[in-house]
Amino acid sequence: MKRLFTFVFTILAIACLTACSVPLKNTASRKNGLDSAFTANVSISLDKLQAEGIVSRHGSGLWDVEFSSPNSLSGIKLEFSEGNTKASYKGLSFSVPQSAVPVRAMMLNLMKAVDENASAEELSGNENDGSLEISGKLDGGSYTLKVDKEGRLSGFEMPNNSLKMTFTELRVISEAASGAEAGEVTTETGTVTSALVTSTEKSGT
């Protein structure tokens, strides 16, 4: 019995030491900068597809992305509104082309992840190389949403879907809830004049 007790105690001690040796994740929180209208350069890696373009968020559920590469997508613009997707090329509308279908599906995942987190008072996640990584799960799979020190969108990944999106030169159009008038808005990437980018909002688009 004594030997059995000693054996059990040794196993428990080893298990405890092993658990204690696992480093804890560096959890943190930041202010929420997702609930804003913005435009940014986006680089998309989706399985074997590599694409570049400009993505814009005009409000919850209101997004668009215009591609500059590859050639099969260059010039194509996808607009998302009220659950519908509209495709166009140089102002001419048409049905979503087959080449854009995979990216359309991943854009819908991005939109849902950002819009859901935009309603939070603050963002919580794990610190990693200056970014805050927020984990979540959608119907399409698990995701990691990355934000910068201002709480602005900087990356989105869905490993199970071989998806990685990187956002650069993000420019805030206006705070989604404020409807800011002309003035200067400072972001991590610089200062822009909101008067140049809010004209479409004032026209009701």
pLDDT of residue 10: 57
pLDDT of residue 13: 54
pLDDT of residue 181: 39
- pLDDT tens track of the chain, all 205 residues? 555 555 545 555 555 544 444 444 578 899 999 999 999 999 999 999 999 999 999 999 999 999 999 999 999 999 999 889 999 998 899 999 888 999 999 999 999 999 999 999 999 999 998 899 999 999 989 999 999 999 999 999 999 999 999 999 999 987 554 444 333 344 443 433 333 333 334 444 4
pLDDT of residue 1: 55
pLDDT of residue 91: 87
pLDDT of residue 99: 87
Residues forming beta bridges with residue 146, ordered by sequence position: 133, 155
pLDDT of residue 11: 58
pLDDT of residue 6: 54
For the chain, the first-to-last Cα distance in angstroms comes to 79
- CATH class (in words) of the domain with range 28-202: mainly beta
Q: Could you tell me the two tokens for 7?
A: 């054996």
Q: Please state the domain extents for the chain.
A: 28-202
Query: Residue-wise over 18-30: b if at least 16 C-beta within 10 A, else e?
Result: eeeeeeeeeeeeb
pLDDT of residue 27: 85
Q: Which amino acid, residue 126?
A: N
Q: Which position has the token pair 């998806």?
A: 163
pLDDT of residue 126: 96
Angle made by CA atoms 30, 143, 173, in degrees to the nearest 5: 50
